[in-house]
Every structure is written in structure tokens, then in C-alpha cells.
């Protein structure tokens, strides 16, 4: 946690992805288990082959997260995720997911307060 926080402070344009399941052949070629996929506008070509796997993983995690926090809108989120082919397409979906989670928290708070 400290290392990740330090890297975010030291260079905020440097996203870091931690892969503990990286193939041994990649590690033997000198790849580390923390990878800078994009630095500013430059894409790291060495890791481009992992993009599809990473995008699929992120989409799966969004479904799990949304299903746990707001199962009512899961079908709509699943349909929207099927249309995602680049990372930028995830932003509107995450805005909907976070907004619906916030609404469910507010409704839960109102229910809790009305029972007292």
C-alpha cells in the first residue's frame, strides 16, 4: 500500500497494475510484476498483448461489484459492458454504477431512520 501511494504521489501520470499471475516466460524476459501500461500518451508496447485480458478482467469485476451492490440494474450493466471495446467506454458505466450505489445507500439510510 505504501509503495502504491508513493508512486501515485511521485508520478500521478503513471498508472500501475499489479499482476501476481504473470506468466513465467514473461518474467524470465525481464518483466516485473508491476507494469506501467500507459505513461502520459505513450502506450507500453511490451504489454499490449495483455490489454484484452485486462479489459475482460475489469469488465468481469464491474459485473461482480454491481451485482453485489445493486442487482436490479445488472442486466443493463451487462448489456452495456458487451459494447465496451476500449477503456474509455467504461467511464459512463462506472458513473451509472456508482450513482446507483449512492442512491441505494441513501434509500437504506432513510429506511433505517424511519424505523426509530
**Sequence-ordered alpha helix ranges (H) in 11-89:** 24-28, 51-69, 74-82
Residue 60, CA distances (Å) to 2, 64, 65, 84, 111 in order:
27, 6, 9, 12, 31
Average pLDDT for the chain: 72
Give me the pLDDT at residue 43, please. Answer: 72
Model-level pTM? 0.49
Least confident segment among 48-57, 87-96, 98-107 = 98-107
93-110 per-position pLDDT tens digit: 777 666 665 555 555 666
Amino acid at each position: 500500500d505504501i509503495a502504491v501511494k508513493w508512486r501515485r504521489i511521485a508520478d500521478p501520470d503513471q498508472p500501475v497494475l499489479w499482476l501476481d499471475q504473470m506468466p513465467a516466460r514473461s518474467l524470465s524476459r525481464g518483466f516485473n510484476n508491476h507494469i506501467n501500461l500507459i505513461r502520459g500518451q505513450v502506450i507500453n508496447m511490451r504489454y499490449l498483448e495483455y490489454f484484452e485480458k485486462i479489459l475482460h478482467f475489469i469488465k468481469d469485476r464491474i459485473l461482480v461489484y454491481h451485482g453485489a451492490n445493486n442487482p436490479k440494474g445488472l442486466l443493463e450493466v451487462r448489456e452495456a459492458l458487451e459494447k465496451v471495446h476500449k477503456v474509455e467506454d467504461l467511464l459512463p458505466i462506472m458513473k451509472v454504477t456508482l450513482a446507483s450505489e449512492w442512491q441505494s445507500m441513501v434509500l437504506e439510510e432513510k429506511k433505517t431512520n424511519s424505523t426509530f
